[in-house]
Structure 1
Amino acid sequence: MRRPLVLLALLLAPVLAANDSYFPNTPGTQWRYSNGETQQTGKARVIQGVNVVPVGHSVNGKLVSEDYLEYRSDGVYLRGVQAGGKLNWYLPPLQVYPASPLAPGQVWTSVTGSGLRLSGRVVGTQALRTQSGSFNALVVRSEVAAGGTASGVQKSSTQYAYFVPGLGVVRYQTADGSTVDLLK
């Protein structure tokens, strides 16, 4: 099942929301990570009647996927993901982050009609040093779970994002324990 894996790409992306002084969302904003991925916000556009901001994910200069985010007063929502020439549109959309400011202890959950579930929690803060600087980051735990398969087994994945207000995600830890840092 590709949808949960594609959704994980969004969770690796910089955090975005309506308040761009807290969550960076200016078109052309770019982040380069230690795994070779570059992410970039695009110009807002309308897809399926919804105003969204695209976030492109490129590896070695090649666009591999694009997330479509909708900004509401109550947070940031994933409306869809374009990958492999296919658009996966989520109804209802998944809430990726609640409205700012994020704070330790904050929890949110959302589920699509197809049973894809995203649960998030700000588990605390952590001082960390990366190639791009030293930060006091909010630690956000995200779990993505896909509905049961024919065997009744539910697949899930958990990762951690280290978020700095006004900058975005400066580090993330993938489900396999690998760490990826912001370079620029």
Structure 2
Amino acid sequence: MRRSPAALLPLLCFLAVPAGADSYFPNTTGLSWRYSNGEVQSAGKPRVLRGVSVIPVGHSVYGKLVSEDYLEYTAAGVFLRGVQSGGRLNWYSPPLQVYPAAPLVPGQVWTSVTSGGLKLSGRVVGTQALRTQSGSYNAFVVRSEVTAGGTGPGVQASSTQYAYFVPGLGVVRYQTADGSTVDLLK
């Protein structure tokens, strides 16, 4: 089962949440984030999956687990190794780079492509002050585009999302491909 680009973008909003060096991308077991769309993301205990040490991140909606991301943290950044959804594990080889090594800086770009042709491109487009129910922040605005499919007209599908990332906290807001805004509540 191939995941559509639009299906991956909600997963990527979290991906700003756990991660690598120190606490820039927090990844402590038991951390959770509750969003205005009813989703709760929770970092689980590190484990080894297919020989890779990953941190699982569960995505629950109104108390029901709908998917789990498997993130790997390295000196090069945060990588999505796989996604468990609907009883099926989609393992990415090579993994998709969600974030480069800390610190993020405006203008920074990165791209990764799996052997199956799934492509993730990211760019820190700038910073923005914003206020949400959970507080006021100065956030990095990260544009992520996921593209799936082959080459040629009408063969590719792509989706774009914006995440508002605060170092040490995670994603405090994201804007979905349809323009909807989802805010961190707690």
In which range does the TM-score fall when normalised by the shorter chain? over 0.9
Q: Give the C-alpha shift of residue 127 in structure 1.
A: 0.4
| CA displacement at 1:149 relative to structure 2 | 8.1
Residue 84 of structure 1 is matched in structure 2 by: 86
Unaligned 5+ residue runs, structure 1? none
Instruction: Return the match for 1:120 from 119, 122, 128.
Output: 122
Indicate the residue corresponding to 1:157 in structure 2: 159
2:133 pairs with 1:131: yes
Q: Find runs of 4+ consecutive structure 1 residues off by over 6 angstroms.
A: none
> What is residue 179 of structure 2 aligned with on the other side?
177
Within-5 A mapping of 1:54-93:
54-93=56-95
Preserved contact between residue 131 and residue 183 of structure 1 (Cα < 8 Å): yes
Question: Could you give the per-residue CA deviations for residues 101-149 of structure 1, whole angstroms, max 9, x where no partner exists?
Answer: 0010000000000000000000000000000000000000000000228
Q: How many correspondences in the alignment?
A: 184
Give TM-score, length-normalised by structure 1: 0.96
Greater shift, 12-21 or 139-148, is seen at: 12-21
Give distance in 2, aligned partners of 1:102 and 1:8: 20
State the partner residue of 2:14. 13
Q: How far apart in 1 are the matches of 2:46 and 2:161? A: 28
Q: Distance in 2 between matches of 1:177 and 1:74?
A: 31
TM-score by length of 2: 0.95
Q: With CA pairs under 8 Å and 6+ residues apart, which has the higher RCO, 1 or 2?
A: 2
Look up the SS of the partner of 1:9 in the other structure. Answer: helix
Counterpart in 2 of 1:143? 145
The one-letter code matched in structure 1 to 2:93 is: L
Shift of 1:11: 1.1
SS in 2 for 1:13: helix
Q: Quote how far apart the aligned CAs of 1:17 are.
A: 1.7
- C-alpha distance in structure 2 between counterparts of 1:158 and 1:28, whole Å: 29
In structure 2, which of residues 20, 40, 43 is the aligned counterpart of residue 41 of structure 1?
43
Q: Give how far 1:41 is off.
A: 0.3
